[in-house]
Chain A
């Protein structure tokens, strides 16, 4: 059988079209891969049986037979969708998310659900109620988070693509730590219908792949207006691979965002790899300039406040009444709410709800929440102003490479600050893509990110594809 675990979506599609492999053979190959590999890394919460996978996908569709994973906060009808939380441990989604429906309609095989930080709250996939996921490059280290399961599965060759979700960097961060591509789209470009909400003004479904071309292929299916999402942009679906081979035009201007290279806990190897990536972009023909975004310094603080405030509201629905876990010992309704949420939410989720309700409470909302909204506007405006002078921005995705399990157990703030470079794009609602750009001397992946103005995904794919034609970081794989 001529399938190799690190095939791209593009390569698999060609083989399926030529009928050198069949969809069932593909499924069996990756099921075998899962059996052989996943006990080492724990990327998946569930791998679905062959019959149910094929029943729900449309045969003869354009990408029929290509397997992928969804993060466990994206509803797949009839499947458990637990957000890696005890409070939804046995909850089966009663409908498909829009992205699930669109992927199945194009024939993609949704073969499982990926592990994640509980309710997408974390940067390491350690807060999952069910298991930890290991980084395929070093099994003693985290894959990043919160979409760590999705990232680890793609990096390990269990699937060629996967979906995750971003609120503050939860696709780009694990993509960088696992050495793969991770895209966060423009806010509103991918429907949030069926994505279990964390921070509604920040959440976006994103995707993982090995190559920018693959990302464009999958993105073409999930992007586009959805009437069931009240924040969906009126943008028609289109083929994002169109024009991707154009390369970097001589007039392309890329702004390098100024940041403190010795600050924010920056690892020198991460700094060096990012600077090399910038030189590569320059060698491709881009004009590089320096850009200052003074409000960037406050982006993490703003993100902490707004995301937690919205989370406190969004997670209020998990109270044992309509779905999920219910504490059966309670004799009275209020007691049931309290005990259900005590038993169902892990400590990280509880902490974020408490912070969220604190910053919204009387006497504190002016100091925290209202001010955060003002500074968020400032961050957005700085990006808008920057894009008047450059087409794209570049900055690191992460301050340090994959860290050890438990490294930040006693220092939650430093853990949360792993989102320092990513969260500003979420606050501004603009797209960004993380690409592999090197390795540390310990063979841990390093990523950098390109950030564009709203609806610039085509340009991001074009430049990313050109970068990957010039480099081979994305062609390297962990040995498992």
Chain B
């Protein structure tokens, strides 16, 4: 399979990661190597029979209840907060 470095850079943008210049090429090599190995699932899937499997387990969903938690500790653990709000940089740059 061919994956371009451009495509990997695009995925990095989607992943919200800026990759350091010196790490870019080895990272690309690693990603490509893993994906080339993982490609074999295509052939395996063609031979598999999908359908229901009796897992004999049940997924448990909790009731959709709101429970008061200790927000003080959570806020104190954050990099920056103001009262009960997390403080972050501007979402949009403003030009004045």
Contacts and interface: CB of A to CB of B under 8 A. Distances in A.
A375 B42 CA distance: 9
A211 to B, nearest CB: 29
A78 to B, nearest CB: 9
Residue among A316, A374, A454 with the highest chain B CB neighbour number at 10 A: A374
A7 interface: no
Contacts of A304: 34, 37-38
25 contacts: A92-B77, A94-B70, A188-B57, A227-B60, A230-B60, A234-B60, A298-B40, A321-B79, A322-B74, A331-B93, A332-B89, A334-B16, A335-B89, A341-B17, A342-B19, A350-B23, A353-B17, A354-B8, A357-B11, A357-B15, A371-B44, A372-B38, A372-B41, A374-B45, A377-B51
A287 interface: no
Contacts of B90: 331-333
A451 to B, nearest CB: 17
A293 interface: no
Contacts of B58: 234
B16 A374 contact: no
Given A354-B27, A371-B42, A321 B17 contact: no
Bin chain B's interface residue count.
35 or more
A17 B20 CA distance: 57
B49 interface: yes
A312 B49 CA distance: 28
Interface in B29-49: 30-31, 33-35, 37-42, 44-45, 48-49
A386 interface: no
B48 A378 contact: yes
Contacts of B60: 227, 230-234
Indicate the member of B27, B57, B78, B92 with the most A CB atoms within 10 Å: B57
Contacts of B16: 316, 319, 334, 337-338, 341
Given A233-B57, A342-B19, A353-B15, A301 B31 contact: no
B89 A357 contact: no
